[in-house]
Chain A
Amino acid sequence: MHTLELHNVNSGYNKKTVLHDITLTIQEPSIYVVLGPNGAGKTTLFRTIAGILEPYSGEVVFDGENVTSSRDVRKRINYLSHYNAIPEEMTVYSALTFYANMQGGSVDQVLALLHLQELTDTKISDLSQGQKKRVSVAKVFLQERDLYLMDEPTSNLDPGYSKEIRDILLKLSKDRIVLYSTHNLYEANDIGTNLILIKNGTIALTEKISNIQLKEYRVGIRASTDISKIIDAERGEQGYYVLSVSSPEEAGQILKKLIENGVLVTEMRQLENPLQELYETA
């Protein structure tokens, strides 16, 4: 069991404070989605936790050790920047070997893990943005560590590779803390169990994603017949009958009513992402 603590952390660049008085304790191994608009301070938060930025005041403590002053504790953290950080003139294999020599780990293993074997002799500069991102992610997985800070790990990746990376992180998160930033709200909802919402350099909310309640739920229903005569729903986008309910329980009652009226419901889904409202108000 690992513990990450931030005590009254103020941090930023060129003496300009970006993070204001952040206090946070994370103990439960899980994926924590860090959400917030551009410029909210997500990357600054990650850099400060990784020990790359020294806080102006306050401290970051991982398993009882100060991250800023202890090299050993920084070596237990894996950080993925949204910069690829891969020497462009090297081949995929030599770039990963370059990092493996510094941090340890097996190049062949990560090549297999991220399906990069066919690209081993390709120069980084010749790769697509998505392929570069996979190599960048591969270097972070060279060696397992206790804390993962993943700043937009699936940006530029197609859905298949995104899912693979999420699966790897889900597996790692069983006994480790993973902080994961993304702008993809569906991805956030899909992968995260906890949410850390950053707003103007402060933590606006920390909550289990399952506990996040919306003021109103828009539900889309696809059915065998016109259900607008049975319930108060309008024909909406993509063939859905759309209606608003106040809670998931009310949606269940509507489904029950439709079935009792002999309607074959082929699909029922929540049209908005529960994180959308939070994100827009942040």
Chain B
Amino acid sequence: MTGERVKSNLVRQLGRDPGIIIVNRGLALSKSYVVFAIFFASVAILTANFGNASLGGAPANSGIYLRPLSLLSVALIAIAGVTLTTSVILLYVYDKNNGVLEYFLSLGMNQGDIYKRYLKAGLILVSLLMVAVTVANVGIGLILGRAVTVPLAATGIAAALSLSIVSFDTMAMMAFSSLQKQRAGANQPLGLALGGLLVVPAYLTPLILPFIVVVAVDLAEAVIIAALSVALLLLSSRLISREKLLP
């Protein structure tokens, strides 16, 4: 099989992947969230590299106080992730309201199967964002001729935190979307607010705690939220009845 055919088959397979389809549909439906996410991610990249660059002329022992500023980028990247995946949550509500989820159920899926599709899409979006942020950090580091250890560490922590927060946020918003009375995505501020609330520790800790403690707090939060998301996903079919997915 030639390289072209392998590539073409791969593209076709990816095009049929439910997660990729939801990503494309979500982004097509609400482009403004992409713009906001790019804005937050850009500020995050600048913050990571500003915190890092400021070490250049500072005494060695001041690093422990300055480096946590780079970790503010963790919170900003997580917010960018939450903003980006709002498009997936909106699509979920949209699909619920026009009967697409009802049709999925009629095809033999259960609640968990459906949630997994949208969750996967959210995680794909966050992963793409992380790749973009990493590339940007490395690029800036190379241009400025500086070590990229701290920005990359911040991106790594942000990846762990963002993936867990987005998982929880997406699951929670899908599970409780039936609470909203107003149609067509009235839950988006709540989704953003929930995601924003979970990011608060990542905002505050770099301002008051040393670098290593901030890293520990962020990672611990990521692990706890990830565990909650998995529990919510596993229990979704029991906790949430199928009727909640009906228009």
Contacts and interface: CB of A to CB of B under 8 A. Distances in A.
B107 interface: yes
Top 9 A-B residue pairs of the complex, sorted by shortest distance between their CB atoms: A83-B99, A85-B99, A79-B106, A85-B103, A74-B108, A75-B108, A71-B108, A52-B105, A50-B106
A158 interface: no
B28 interface: yes
Interface string B229-247: 0000000000001110011
Contact of B28 (A86, A89, A98): A89
Contacts of B8: none
Contacts of A78: 106
13 contacts: A13-B246, A14-B243, A51-B106, A52-B105, A52-B106, A52-B246, A53-B242, A53-B243, A74-B107, A75-B107, A84-B98, A85-B98, A103-B107
Contacts of A86: 98, 100
A72 interface: yes
Interface in B99-157: 99-100, 102-110
Contacts of B246: 13, 47, 52-53
Interface in A48-67: 50-54
A87 B28 CA distance: 12
Given A79-B103, A87-B95, 12 more contacts: A14-B243, A50-B105, A51-B105, A72-B108, A83-B99, A85-B99, A85-B103, A88-B98, A89-B25, A98-B21, A99-B103, A102-B18
A51 B246 CA distance: 12
Nearest to B106: A79
A74 B98 contact: no
A85 B243 contact: no
Contacts, number: 67
Interface in A68-117: 71-72, 74-75, 77-79, 81, 83-90, 98-99, 101-103
Contacts of A88: 98
A40 B178 CA distance: 24
Contacts of A84: 98-99
A77 B247 CA distance: 20
Contacts of B95: 87
A256 B242 CA distance: 60
Chain B interface mostly: helix
Contacts of B109: 71
Contacts of A14: 243
A85 B28 contact: no
Nearest to A52: B105
A28 B186 CA distance: 47
A123 B176 CA distance: 31
Nearest to B243: A13
A15 B184 CA distance: 25
A75 B105 CA distance: 10
A71 B98 contact: no
Nearest to A79: B106
Contacts of B18: 102
A53 B98 CA distance: 17
B29 interface: yes
Contact of A81 (B21, B28, B103): B103
Nearest to A89: B28
B7 interface: no
B99 A71 contact: no
B107 A83 contact: no
A162 to B, nearest CB: 21
Contacts of A99: 103
Contacts of B105: 50-52
Contacts of B98: 83-88
A85 B102 contact: yes
A49 B247 CA distance: 18
B13 to A, nearest CB: 11
Contacts of A85: 98-100, 102-103
A43 to B, nearest CB: 10
A24 to B, nearest CB: 19
